[in-house]
Amino acid sequence: MENEVATGFMNNLPAVKSLATAIAIGLGAAFPALAIGMIGAKAVESIGRNPEAAPKIQTAMILCVAFAEAIAIYTLVIALIIKFV
């Protein structure tokens, strides 16, 4: 009986697509969010230690945050492709 349930779920394509979409967007939002938090924390810590370097640190921080956010956007695109294709 257990085997039939597992096989039945895997044969249910809409359910598998929904689960894959949820996992993709969940992980794709969580890890870039953690990265952005770490980038911001280290940038503030660095500026606190060396205030004269604030413009250089801020520029690098904004660039890193943009790259981390791009990964989240790519994940959203992949999740939408999984869901609707």
CATH number belonging to domain 29-85: 1.20.20.10
What do you get for the CA distance between the two ends of the chain, in Å? Answer: 31
The predicted structure's pLDDT at residue 81: 94
**pLDDT of the residue at 68:** 92
Q: Flag whether pLDDT at 22 surpasses 60.
A: yes
Burial label, 4 (beta-carbon count in 10 A; 0-12, 13-18, 19+): exposed
Taking residues 73-82, report their average pLDDT: 94
Residue 16 parent element (H or E): helix 13-49
Q: Give the integer Cα–Cα distance in Å for 80 and 20.
A: 10
pLDDT tens digits, 43-60: 999 999 999 999 999 999
Instruction: Report whether 28 contacts 78 (CB < 8 A).
Output: yes
